[in-house]
């Protein structure tokens, strides 16, 4: 009996995918590819970078429309939040993301890309308790893909000797758990 490759199986159960790794290793590329496959299969997908979402949230606060934004982001089958952790979040954004993740929990899938390991998310959210609650809901039914390597965008420049990255600026990958495959962890409990 052969098992068919089903790249969108996670959508049927409202599961999440978290793509972690340093800049330039293909996290956004993978997220967009999964999003395009979902659209090709009739699913509603919404992609936004977290910095763009922060800008929209700031406008929504001024216009008293946070509730409308929350409803809008609950609708798609797949929500892609790109670049989590590049900018710190304020209390309003942290609260909004907690509500969003909570409302979508098991009802709609989320793909998150981040250059930060889970242990660094407390600093991103500015609140360890909120970060733990968001991580708890995101990871309960999820697959984490920890991508290691150097930036694809800079590989030719490095090869030509034009650019070298100081080792102190490289992102430390998230620690691995248990005896699961090193680059892929599936949480389903």
Q: Are the C-beta atoms of residues 32 and 40 closer than 8 Å to each other?
A: no
Give the tens place of pLDDT for each residue, 19-42: 999 999 999 999 999 999 999 999
Judge whether 4 lies within some domain.
no
Going by DSSP bridges, is the β-strand pair 141-146/78-84 parallel, antiparallel, or unpaired? unpaired
pLDDT of 63 > 60? The answer is yes
Judge whether 148 lies within some domain.
yes
Judge whether 80 lies within some domain.
yes
Distance CA 143, CA 15 (A): 8
- What beta strand segments (E) does 37-171 contain? 45-49, 78-84, 109-114, 141-146
Q: What is the residue range of 84's domain?
A: 9-188
Give the tens place of pLDDT for each residue, 158-180: 777 877 765 544 444 444 443 33
Phi–psi pair at 138, nearest 5 degrees = -65, -40
Number of domains in the chain: 1
Judge whether 2 lies within some domain.
no
pLDDT of 103 > 90? The answer is yes
Residue among 152, 158, 179, 178 at smallest CA distance from 21: 152
Residue 5's pLDDT is 66
* Global pTM value: 0.83
Judge whether 1 lies within some domain.
no
Give me the chain's average pLDDT, please.
Answer: 87
């Amino acid at each position: 009996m052969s098992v068919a490759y089903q790249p969108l199986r996670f959508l049927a159960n409202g599961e999440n995918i978290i793509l972690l790794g340093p800049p330039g290793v293909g996290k956004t590329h993978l997220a967009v590819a999964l999003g395009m496959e979902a659209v090709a299969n009739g699913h509603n997908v919404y992609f936004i970078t977290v910095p763009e979402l922060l800008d929209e949230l700031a406008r929504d606060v001024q216009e008293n429309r946070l509730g409308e934004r929350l409803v809008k982001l609950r609708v798609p089958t797949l929500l892609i939040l790109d670049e989590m952790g590049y900018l710190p979040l304020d209390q309003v954004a942290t609260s909004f993301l907690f509500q969003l993740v909570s409302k979508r929990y098991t009802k709609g899938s989320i793909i998150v890309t981040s250059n930060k390991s889970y242990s660094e998310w407390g600093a991103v959210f500015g609140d360890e308790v909120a970060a733990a609650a968001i991580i708890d809901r995101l990871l309960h039914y999820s697959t984490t893909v920890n991508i290691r390597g150097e930036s694809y965008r800079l590989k030719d420049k490095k090869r030509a000797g034009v650019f070298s990255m100081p080792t102190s600026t490289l992102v430390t990958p998230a620690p691995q758990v248990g005896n699961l495959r090193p680059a892929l962890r599936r949480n389903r409990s």
